């Protein structure tokens, strides 16, 4: 099992870190929560029932670690994360003010919408997996992601000085 855990860490450390970085807007906190996620996974391994994939299970643990930290610190993530949460080739080409505006718009979404959208669009999980991670149905994930995209567009256009349609 040690090889399997090492393989999971190697495969999923980056995606779990990026998920947490998008939620927290803080690279150091995201790394700390990533380590806590894998530690919790090791401690919880005997209780893992394999009803979902290991990746889905780890995303759920990461989300729980993030929420636990929020509850402990009784604070929200910073309103303006430094840079785009997950730079894609297109985002790298975009000017820094646009990346900053996108990050601020994402941070402005309500938490459930932000989590669902990050899991679906940036982590490329299926709607079923998003639903599993967030403890909801696949239909809920589809509807929430649709609404989150619309809300993100409106927030981005508002920050840009335009008008949302």
**Ordered domains of the chain (ranges, CATH):** 1-78 (1.10.1740.10), 94-165 (1.10.10.10)
3-class secondary structure per residue, 9-38: HHHHHHHHHHHHHHHHCCHHHHHHHHHHHH
Query: How much is the pLDDT for 91?
Result: 46
| Tens digits of residue pLDDT in 72-127 | 876 554 555 545 455 555 545 545 677 788 888 888 999 999 999 999 988 889 99
| Tens digits of residue pLDDT in 12-46 | 999 999 999 988 888 999 999 999 999 998 888 87
Query: How much is the pLDDT for 74?
Result: 64
Checking if the pLDDT of 159 tops 80, the result is: yes
Q: Which residues make Cβ contacts (< 8 Å) with residue 55, sequence separation at least 6?
A: 12, 15, 125, 129
Checking if the pLDDT of 138 tops 50, the result is: yes
Could you tell me which of 27, 145, 22 has the C-alpha nearest to residue 84? 22
More confident residue, 62 or 81: 62
pLDDT bucket at 162, cuts 50 / 70 / 90: low
């Amino acid at each position: 099992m040690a090889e399997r855990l090492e393989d999971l860490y190697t495969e999923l450390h980056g995606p779990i870190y990026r998920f947490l970085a998008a939620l927290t807007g803080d690279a150091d906190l995201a790394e700390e929560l990533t380590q806590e996620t894998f530690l919790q996974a090791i401690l919880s391994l005997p209780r893992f029932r394999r009803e979902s994939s290991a990746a889905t299970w780890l995303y759920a643990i990461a989300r729980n670690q993030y929420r636990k930290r929020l509850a402990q610190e009784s604070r929200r993530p910073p309103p303006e994360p430094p840079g785009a949460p997950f730079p894609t080739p297109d985002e790298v080409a975009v000017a820094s003010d646009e990346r900053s505006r996108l990050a601020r718009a994402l941070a402005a979404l309500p938490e459930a919408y932000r989590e669902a959208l990050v899991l679906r669009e940036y982590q490329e999980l299926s709607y079923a997996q998003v639903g599993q991670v967030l403890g909801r149905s696949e239909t809920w994930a589809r509807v929430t992601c649709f609404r989150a995209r619309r809300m993100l567009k409106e927030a981005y256009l508002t920050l840009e000085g335009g008008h949302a349609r």
